[in-house]
């Protein structure tokens, strides 16, 4: 079983174990946003590939995700999976996040709340550039998010949020049938997103 699958199973068990609490509500949501990454290049990669702009590989690229969690009047906790991919200067990367988050609510109106919280989980970074062998790595992800949550109806809400993550996922770039050209290290990612949530 992969580390990604183990973490997903852990989130599922955690959610099921607290489902009996009467003062909490389950919710599910879909997210859409844009992600920009900061990527550190090895000196060998700079020398061999003429200093490619790795920060532009995933830069304001569309990001899709899904979440499942529980909430009450004070806050919420939830698991999120999202993914984004991009290509630039002959480098193609895909980033997948599996995250657990907790937010505290701060009401500012009858149906509007500000939220802020912390996130931790895993990030999988995959390099699949033309002419290079495919390579992937799973690293940690830790960070936080802030935003505003608007209740639309009794069971439906929408939110606008910003999330920042630090990571240590790293991939290698090796020519197909050739030598290693260098490595790419994901150091951080920033995401602005919209989410539609449904409570049940």
- Count Cβ atoms below 10 Å from residue 81 Cβ, excluding itself: 18
Residues with pLDDT less than 50, the chain = 16-21
| CA gap 116, 158 in Å, rounded | 15
Q: What is the residue whose two structure tokens read 């003062």? A: 23
Size of the chain, expressed as the number of residues it contains: 200
| Among the listed residues 49, 42, 123, the one whose alpha carbon sits nearest the alpha carbon of residue 88 | 49
First to last CA, the chain: 31
| CA gap 125, 122 in Å, rounded | 10
- 180-185-190-194 Cα dihedral, nearest 10 degrees: 50
Structure tokens at 188: 């951080």
The whole-number pLDDT of residue 18 equals 44
pLDDT tens column, 29-63: 999 999 999 999 899 988 888 888 787 899 999 99
């Amino acid at each position: 079983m992969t580390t990604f699958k183990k973490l997903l199973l852990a989130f599922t068990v955690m959610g099921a174990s607290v489902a009996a609490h009467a003062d909490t509500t389950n919710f599910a949501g879909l997210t859409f946003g844009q992600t920009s990454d900061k990527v550190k290049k090895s000196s060998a990669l700079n020398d061999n590939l003429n200093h490619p702009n790795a920060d532009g590989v995933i830069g304001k690229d569309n990001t899709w995700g899904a979440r499942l969690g529980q909430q009450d009047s004070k806050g919420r906790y939830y698991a999120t999976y999202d993914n984004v991919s991009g290509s630039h200067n002959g480098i193609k990367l895909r980033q997948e996040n599996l995250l657990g988050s907790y937010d505290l609510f701060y009401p500012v109106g009858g149906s509007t709340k500000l939220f802020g919280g912390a996130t931790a989980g895993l990030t999988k970074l995959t390099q699949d550039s033309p002419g290079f062998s495919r390579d992937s790595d799973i690293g940690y992800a830790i960070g936080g998010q802030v935003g505003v949550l608007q209740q639309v109806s009794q069971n439906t809400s929408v939110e606008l949020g910003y999330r920042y993550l630090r990571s240590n996922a790293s991939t290698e770039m090796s020519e197909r049938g050739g030598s290693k050209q260098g490595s790419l290290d994901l150091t951080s990612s920033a995401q602005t997103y919209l989410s539609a949530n449904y409570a049940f």
